[in-house]
Amino acid sequence: MFSIGELSRRTNVKVPTIRYYEESGLLDAPERTEGNQRRYDAAGLERLSFIKHARDLGFSIEAIAALIELQGHPDRSCAEANDIATAQLSDVRAKIKRLRALEKELVRISNGCDGGGVTEDCYVLASLSDHGLCERDH
């Protein structure tokens, strides 16, 4: 049995975030001391580690809630778990694609200016004013 601060230290999840996860329904409400302080056990630690890992991989709170629900029914098909992971992968890939396009334009934009001029002639400001200078859409 350990305190919320101890749980925080062991998982690298901040105390207010742990309380937020409880409020959001991701963590079960733990036992309390007589003085109303939370006391966690190994199951609580394991659950929070799962959540932390999923968050680190970019899953939303909603997706994590669904995954936890599935975990609670060991005999159910894992098709939905696979769907959630696949959706997360597509999401990440879409973000990468967009960011790579932005990266290209930003390289062009910042290469066009050495910071030694005057704002009136600045290629950064000109580029932002005129999307026609861009090589592609974003």
Catalog residues that contact DNA under the rule CB under 7 A. Answer: 3-6, 8, 14-17, 19-20, 33-38, 55, 60-62
Mention every residue, 6+ apart, whose C-beta is less than 8 A from residue 128: 109
Is residue 43 part of the contact set for a second copy (CB under 8 A)?
no
Token reading at 7: 């749980």
- For residue 100, the partner it binds in Zn ion, a second copy, DNA, none, with Cβ less than 5 to 8 A by kind, is a second copy
How many angstroms separate the CA atoms of 32 and 38, rounded? 5
Backbone angles phi, psi at 23, to 5 degrees: -65, -35
Interacting residue with a second copy among 42, 73, 135, 136 (CB under 8 A): 73
Is residue 67 part of the contact set for a second copy (CB under 8 A)?
yes
Interacting residue with a second copy among 34, 42, 100, 135 (CB under 8 A): 100
Is residue 74 part of the contact set for a second copy (CB under 8 A)?
yes
How many angstroms separate the CA atoms of 69 and 57, rounded? 18
